[in-house]
Amino acid sequence: MKLKKVIKSYKNTTWDYNHSIIRDSYVKLIKNFKRKPTYDEVSKDTDLSIPTIKKHIDELRFEPLKHPLRILTEDVILSIANSANEGSSASQKLWMQICEGWTEKQIIEHEGKINLEDVRVKLIDKLTNGIKGSDKK
């Protein structure tokens, strides 16, 4: 029983280490190539097998987002946090929206009046015409 726990722990440590290597390679290669690197390019850069890289990328496909560059999310969030700490109001606002669920209050102003009786009459007409139209079929 203890052997399984050790193996599982070792596997998680190895997976985390490989994930970190792959993430760092993606960042480096994107900066160098100005595009998303191929599995082969990441494999050569990290000395990890292509199946290992594919498994890590596949693990990152969360619904509804399925983009393989999602591996960089941690780095982007850290960049937003650093920029926000340095005083960027745009990054501070973005941080609050992403991490705190904050949304701006929106006020819609409108001029004129809405005659609710006219709205009701038009709605009733549409509903009754729809019913009459379906009776004809």
Query: Which pLDDT score, from 0 to 100, does residue 64 have?
Result: 47
d(CA 126, CA 129): 5
Query: Which pLDDT score, from 0 to 100, does residue 62 have?
Result: 45
Mean pLDDT, consecutive 10-residue stretches, the chain (137 aa), reads: 50 83 86 86 94 83 55 79 87 82 79 76 75 51
Number of Cβ atoms within 10 Å of the Cβ of 53: 25
CA dihedral 63, 101, 27, 17 (to 10 degrees): -70
d(CA 112, CA 118): 14
Convert 2-29 to b/e letters by CB count within 10 Å (16 or more is b): eeeeeeeeeeeeeeeebbebbbebbeeb
Query: Which pLDDT score, from 0 to 100, does residue 42 have?
Result: 93
Query: Which pLDDT score, from 0 to 100, does residue 114 have?
Result: 74
Query: Which pLDDT score, from 0 to 100, does residue 10 have?
Result: 57
